[in-house]
Copies of this chain bind each other. A is one copy, B any other.
Amino acid sequence: MALLPGPVERLAEEFARFPGIGPKTAQRMAFQACRWPEPALQALSGTIRLMAEAIGNCPICFFISDRGELCSICRQQGRQEELICVVEDPSDVLAIERTGEFRGLYHVLGAALSPLDGIGPSEIHADELVARVSGGTVEEVILATDSDVEGEATAGYLVRRLEGTPPKVTRLAHGLPVGGELAYADDRTVARAFSGRQLL
């Protein structure tokens, strides 16, 4: 016999679908929601309905946007249209924008290649990237995929796909984190820092 009312059980199941939220955390969240005042719950429900109805991806760069519209970055005046930074996820865009260092545009793949998870070339907006740079206004494509196995494989795949298109293709530098101590860096990071050493 179910001890809890249906919506409470269901909410716990739905929260547990978010990656990183285990069944225990999901149930704690559902219990917590039982104690929220009704207006707070109605607001949360409304926000999620709005997500369902009004949020989509930018038709140019696939960053999160109001549905059917350009994203905030593609709409911004004065960005360098000749520079495109390719990232895996929208959160990467936020991380790069926080630095204030990059004034070009983005291309959000939405994932990295991962055959075991069923993510192949057609899932990462690679065709759209090739079409986008073939026009001739783009001068440089910066590959900023993660430096794990999937990210490196994705970068390698994109290098091959972009061969013969006008822009030069670069990759973000790997090396020691700024402010970090060499002794605490992992072996592969130290090795990359050596092989990428620069003349002063």
Residues of A at under 8 Å CB distance from B? 1-5, 7-8, 10-11, 14, 17-21, 25, 27-29, 31-35, 38, 40-55, 64-66, 72-73, 76, 89-91, 93-94, 97, 110
Contacts and interface: CB of A to CB of B under 8 A. Distances in A.
A53 B46 CA distance: 13
B42 A45 contact: no
Chain B CB count within 10 A is highest, among A2, A41, A72, for A41
A98 to B, nearest CB: 10
Contacts of A43: 14
Contacts of A51: 7-8, 11, 33-34, 41
Nearest to A39: B52
Copies of this chain assembled into the complex: 2
B41 A91 contact: no
B20 A25 contact: yes
A178 to B, nearest CB: 21
Given A7-B55, A20-B25, 12 more contacts: A2-B72, A3-B94, A8-B64, A11-B47, A11-B51, A14-B44, A18-B28, A19-B28, A21-B29, A41-B48, A42-B52, A44-B48
A31 B32 CA distance: 22
Contacts of A27: 91
Contacts of A33: 18, 48, 51
